[in-house]
Structure 1
Amino acid sequence: MGVWWWKLFVAALAGILFSTQHCASQKVPNYTFMHNATTAPDVSYYDYIVIGGGTAGCPLAATLSQNYSVLLLERGGSPYGNPNISDLAAFGAALSDTSPTSPAQRFISEDGVINSRARVLGGGSCLNAGFYTRASPQYVREAGWDGRVVNESYEWVEKIVAFEPQLKQWQSSVRDGLIEIGVVPNNGFTYDHIDGTKVGGTIFDQNGFRHTAADLLQYAKPTGITLLLDATVHRILFRVKDRSKPMAHGVVFRDSLGRRHKAYLKPDPRNEIIVSAGALGSPQLLMLSGIGPEEHLKAHNIRITLDQPLVGQGMSDNPMNAIFVPSPVPVEISLIEVVGITTFGTYIEAASGENFAGGSPKDYGMFSPKIGQLSTVPPKQRTPEALAKAIEVMETLDQAAFRGGFILEKIMGPISSGHLELRSRDPNDNPSVTFNYFQDPRDLQRCVQGLSTVEKIIESKAFSPFRYPNMPVPVLLNMTASAPVNLLPKHTNSSLSLEQYCKDTVMTIWHYHGGCQVAKVVDRDYKVLGVDALRVIDGSTFNYSPGTNPQATVMMLGRYMGVKILSERLGGAAAADETEQ
């Protein structure tokens, strides 16, 4: 192989660079109820206080606002008017922004894998690759959800944010390759989770505009909701009468100027505070509010509300591994559109990039080191210096080096899990989180089977137009282990084992979950065990990630639980009629 090929591969693993794409201006909703927290009164009162205007919090608050007064507190800003969020062609630009006001807050797990958490209205739906797909019927049954209300809730979400993608040649070849190698049947376009190969939905519309969970606030009753941006909640307030359980009754939050505000529940025992701050934010806030492992909280001088050792446990992140395939012909810009749902617990997906002659590629692709994805360096060595080196090399290469795409696998579940702990009492700080990738050997075996499936797709007849005939899969894998700027451990055997490849090149696909799991921290109605008037409704309650990609189910859960809460207060069919919009 010549030097050009080595450079190509190093750069490719560093990231696909998406080129610019011109789109018309996106219409911004006129939310008269949206304000900066600096305008908030010192003290206010509501029926419901929802902490976190993310993927679950927005649909939840919109639903509750139909009948009750709702305060929605979001620590980030608005996604509207930011092309780095709204435009498909700019995917990754927000993730690469490491400034204090970025909509994406970078964190590094104790495993060494660089990751990100949302800090913007709409949550992770403002930052992700856009794939929209439902959970399986089995997942719904195991969660104890009402199937009819689940379907109605998905449909409620889909009216606003979900679209059918228009497949082009590269994604079509991945789909056809999956079918050719036996990931069947061909299920065509569907939101449903079905074994085989399918085209899923997307939250990017036909013009390449992203539609996020924030758009679901169009359903809100303007006079029933107050949305405060740049409002960081520091603690949930509890009161205890006699020997009864602690009851949540208010929150303390600060605005962007550091001013302190308090919001309280109106005096009705049915009113509640609902935490929807995400898989990192929700367990973190419970701990900051005194609900967590007693010894850990005492070490941070936090007043104990409830000794609950399971808060922060069960943290999992679905490991992703990918193979880059350089293409002899141009490929389209695409994020996740096709998925192969295998019978052995692995999901196969793909993304591609294209450079246009005479243009400057945007180096914000799905696998770019600028967003922390760096499979050329093993996890524990993914330092800022390693990222800077990868970016430096990438920027010296010819645009042709970025022509191609990644085919990836992520495992179902996963089975492996870890834990989360506080680093400080500052809610703006990232907690310490460990995911323990591949700790369970069954996860590693699924990764191997997934990569073997990817190999077969690359070698399929359907995918042949997009691969060089003199670059078989073993060459691609071994180039990963021996590229000139690569820090991967060198292997003396002639072939890099897939087990080692899984461990060395593991990345996140941002589907982490856990920390406030059902039957451990919350009950099946998402009420926090051991206290009153407090629920957690978001992905932190999941034991396993739903479907192939979780965002549809997180949005559905916000709507579903909003309907259920109203049903409890208003009574069955009446609640459904009240919330139908």
Structure 2
Amino acid sequence: MCVCIYIYIYMMDLGCWRLFGAAILFFHGFCFSEKAPNYTFMHEATSAPDISYYDYIIVGGGTAGCPLAATLSQNYSVLLLERGGSPYGNPNITNLAAFGQALADLSPSSPSQRFISEDGVINARARVLGGASCLNAGFYTRAATDYVNRAGWDGRLVNESYQWVEKVMAFEPSMLQWQSAVRDGLLEVGVVPYNGFTYDHLSGTKVGGTIFDQDGQRHTAADLLQYANPNGLTVLLHASVHEILFTTTGKSRPIAHGVRFTDASGINHRAYLKKGSKNEIIISAGALGSPQLLMLSGVGPADHLKAHNITVVVDQPMVGQGMSDNSMNAIFIPSPVPVEVSLIQVVGITHFGSYIEAASGENFAVGSHRDFGMFSPKIGQLSTVPPKQRTPEAIAIAVESMSNLDEAAFRGGFILEKIMGPLSTGHLELRNRNPNDNPSVTFNYFKEPEDLQRCVEGIRTIERIIESKAFSKFRYDDISLQTLLNMTANSPVNLLPKHKNASTSLEQFCKDTVMTIWHYHGGCQVGRVVDHDYKVLGMDALRVIDGSTFYYCPGTNPQATVAMLGRYMGVRILSERLASDTTK
């Protein structure tokens, strides 16, 4: 049973009492059921009418779109369009032990859509209600205070929005031996102070949150829809938005007034905004989807749009620019003793701009889940060859090689480094006019020398952790660091490149072994494509609210801040509308 309390709040800024429709207080522990929720507002897009009308239309039911929709639904009618399906009932999403299986699924119905950047690094794009929170390694941590200040966000509302998310999604992990050894090793090599368990971004070593509960069950942004007013929200699944519709005739600025989308049967539907000057369309389709949809709708670099026979609504050359992906490099450490299954729980936030994290056990490759883990070629995390050589044939060879090894070869774990920022940027372009196809994206890993040096320092720090007393239990004394860096199939598993020159530089090691940690961002950045209220420049009734607006990845892992931003902007939009209505 879930107890929901509607409360009246005296809104100081407005000087009046109002029913805070959104103020349904859910008490964590008994209001949020661990079972799949009965969302009466969630439907297949095939059931949608040909034409419908709403106060808000949100494109993308991901980590930002779900909390945004839940918040706005308290006072207005909201349509949330998600191109994927439901995460509920899919054990490959919900179970920690099955991590990686969804990423390895290459079928058209997979919740994960694989894409390969022009750099050659294999990546993933969410295609499911809840977005990347349904696919990731679960680490939950907030952005740094200075990040919040630079973004111009209200600190009090930011904290309240994080807390709103955390009541549903975040938990304190159980620290077992491997993660504890990494933590103690970080402290031993000088990544100090120790900040204990905290969601906050603090220099030194800390234990962060996780979206996996004590039973190993994942809690996603889709769970935040339990906050929604069921009478104010409609969620349509397998709804692919092809374009934003604009009114331009006789107007000085184009006005977004609707969207065209197709259902799973390919049938076209249109959804329009109700009449009202405050009603809006909000794109929350992610760092690939949001700039892609703007371009498909005629908002982007004019020459590029004309090349694809797209009518230019606004010549906006910065759409698709500033694309970044935080590079990840890792070292596999075979263990003489068994290790627990763990995803990321500990992080070392270094002074030189690299984050040190770790994962262990069968989540990367062992038993029935072999080849399905965080560093498996099955999901595209192939570091045995440089990026441009990671062909389907190379992946198949790596998977076959791993399948022939004894399970003991996989006993151990990885310690990884992810560079802060990054400073290196690239761009995104359309390949065609199909919104379900991936655009072309270039991240330019290590283009900026400082990024490469951060990687090198990160690898050096990992080496010191491996040699630390705290980590000695999980290290073979007769395997040197150079052997770990040049691991071959004979000692004991080929998970890292073999170089002919044993003295290969760490710079080259970083370039050859670069992988993604799925934290890409940019393409619709604040001040370039949207203003500080996330309104698209040069037009009305259209915003972009998601990670595509970021210049740098917030904190060590972005999902907490992306979810916070959805809630934060939902509250701001509601407050501004209430204030505007009161003054009329």
TM-score under structure 1 normalisation? 0.92
**Any residues of structure 2 matched to 1:534-573 within 5 Å, and which?**
534-571=542-579
- 1:397 maps to 405
> 2:107 matched to 1:123?
no
Instruction: Work out the number of aligned pairs and report it.
Output: 548
**Any residues of structure 2 matched to 1:272-351 within 5 Å, and which?**
272-351=280-359
Taking the aligned partners of 1:60 and 1:229, their CA distance within structure 2 comes to: 17
Taking the aligned partners of 2:497 and 2:205, their CA distance within structure 1 comes to: 33
Contact 1:75 1:120 in 2 (8 A): yes
Q: In structure 2, do the counterparts of structure 1 residues 500 and 218 end up closer, same or farther at CA, with 3 Å as the change threshold? A: same
Taking the aligned partners of 1:36 and 1:248, their CA distance within structure 2 comes to: 25
**Any residues of structure 2 matched to 1:204-223 within 5 Å, and which?**
204-223=212-231
- 1:41 maps to 49
> 2:435 matched to 1:427?
yes
Alignment partner of 2:361 out of 349, 353, 359 = 353
Letter in 2 for 1:32: T
Letter in 2 for 1:249: H
- 2:455 maps to 447
SS state of the match for residue 124, structure 1? helix
- 2:416 maps to 408
Per-residue deviation, residues 211-238 of structure 1 (Å, max 9, x unmatched): 0000000000000000000000000000
Letter in 1 for 2:483: V
Which deviates more, 419-428 or 363-372? 363-372
Which deviates more, 470-479 or 36-45? 470-479
> 2:468 matched to 1:468?
no
**Any residues of structure 2 matched to 1:372-387 within 5 Å, and which?**
372-387=380-395
**Any residues of structure 2 matched to 1:215-254 within 5 Å, and which?**
215-254=223-262
Per-residue deviation, residues 517-557 of structure 1 (Å, max 9, x unmatched): 00000000000000100000000000000000000000000
SS state of the match for residue 452, structure 1? helix
Taking the aligned partners of 1:244 and 1:259, their CA distance within structure 2 comes to: 33
- 2:26 maps to none
- 2:12 maps to none
Per-residue deviation, residues 32-60 of structure 1 (Å, max 9, x unmatched): 00000000000000000000000000000
Taking the aligned partners of 1:497 and 1:171, their CA distance within structure 2 comes to: 28
Taking the aligned partners of 1:551 and 1:559, their CA distance within structure 2 comes to: 13
Q: In structure 2, do the counterparts of structure 1 residues 486 and 461 end up closer, same or farther at CA, with 3 Å as the change threshold? A: closer
Contact 2:371 2:399 in 1 (8 A): no
C-alpha displacement at 1:474, in angstroms? 1.6
Contact 1:448 1:499 in 2 (8 A): yes
- 1:267 maps to 275
Taking the aligned partners of 1:47 and 1:506, their CA distance within structure 2 comes to: 44
C-alpha displacement at 1:249, in angstroms? 0.1
Contact 2:302 2:316 in 1 (8 A): yes
- 2:446 maps to 438
User: Unaligned regions of 5+ residues in structure 2, if any?
Assistant: 1-32
SS state of the match for residue 578, structure 2? helix
Letter in 2 for 1:213: A
- 1:104 maps to 112
Taking the aligned partners of 1:44 and 1:269, their CA distance within structure 2 comes to: 18
C-alpha displacement at 1:497, in angstroms? 1.0
Contact 1:105 1:117 in 2 (8 A): yes
Q: In structure 2, do the counterparts of structure 1 residues 572 and 447 end up closer, same or farther at CA, with 3 Å as the change threshold? A: farther
Taking the aligned partners of 1:553 and 1:395, their CA distance within structure 2 comes to: 38
- 2:19 maps to none
Taking the aligned partners of 1:531 and 1:216, their CA distance within structure 2 comes to: 30
Alignment partner of 2:197 out of 177, 189, 195 = 189
SS state of the match for residue 469, structure 2? coil
**Any residues of structure 2 matched to 1:4-83 within 5 Å, and which?**
27-83=35-91
C-alpha displacement at 1:472, in angstroms? 2.1
Letter in 2 for 1:391: V
Q: In structure 2, do the counterparts of structure 1 residues 573 and 92 end up closer, same or farther at CA, with 3 Å as the change threshold? A: farther
> 2:173 matched to 1:134?
no
SS state of the match for residue 462, structure 1? helix
Taking the aligned partners of 1:73 and 1:339, their CA distance within structure 2 comes to: 35
Q: In structure 2, do the counterparts of structure 1 residues 366 and 359 end up closer, same or farther at CA, with 3 Å as the change threshold? A: closer
Taking the aligned partners of 2:370 and 2:69, their CA distance within structure 1 comes to: 36
Per-residue deviation, residues 421-453 of structure 1 (Å, max 9, x unmatched): 000000010000000000000000000000000
C-alpha displacement at 1:360, in angstroms? 3.9
Letter in 2 for 1:413: G
Taking the aligned partners of 2:490 and 2:510, their CA distance within structure 1 comes to: 16
SS state of the match for residue 502, structure 1? helix
SS state of the match for residue 46, structure 2? helix
Contact 1:350 1:408 in 2 (8 A): yes
Letter in 2 for 1:210: R
Contact 2:239 2:261 in 1 (8 A): yes
Q: Percent identity?
A: 76
- 2:22 maps to none
Per-residue deviation, residues 278-299 of structure 1 (Å, max 9, x unmatched): 0000000000000000000000
Per-residue deviation, residues 154-194 of structure 1 (Å, max 9, x unmatched): 00000001000001000000000000111001100000000
Alignment partner of 2:161 out of 143, 153, 159 = 153
Taking the aligned partners of 1:188 and 1:364, their CA distance within structure 2 comes to: 31
RMSD: 1.9
Letter in 1 for 2:339: V
- 2:210 maps to 202
Contact 1:481 1:490 in 2 (8 A): no
C-alpha displacement at 1:148, in angstroms? 0.1
Letter in 1 for 2:142: R
SS state of the match for residue 479, structure 1? coil
Contact 1:379 1:504 in 2 (8 A): yes
Taking the aligned partners of 1:360 and 1:110, their CA distance within structure 2 comes to: 33
Letter in 2 for 1:321: N
Q: In structure 2, do the counterparts of structure 1 residues 353 and 482 end up closer, same or farther at CA, with 3 Å as the change threshold? A: closer
> 2:103 matched to 1:95?
yes
C-alpha displacement at 1:244, in angstroms? 1.3
Per-residue deviation, residues 17-76 of structure 1 (Å, max 9, x unmatched): xxxxxxxx9500010000000000000000000000000000000000000000000000
Taking the aligned partners of 1:254 and 1:216, their CA distance within structure 2 comes to: 25
- 1:180 maps to 188
SS state of the match for residue 540, structure 1? helix
Taking the aligned partners of 2:504 and 2:226, their CA distance within structure 1 comes to: 52
- 1:363 maps to 371
C-alpha displacement at 1:571, in angstroms? 2.3
After TM superposition, where is structure 1 displaced by more than 2 Å over at least 4 residues in a row? Answer: 358-363, 478-492, 571-574
Contact 2:383 2:495 in 1 (8 A): no
SS state of the match for residue 332, structure 1? coil
Letter in 2 for 1:325: I
User: Unaligned regions of 5+ residues in structure 1, if any?
Assistant: 1-24, 575-581
Taking the aligned partners of 2:483 and 2:137, their CA distance within structure 1 comes to: 28
Alignment partner of 1:458 out of 466, 480, 483 = 466
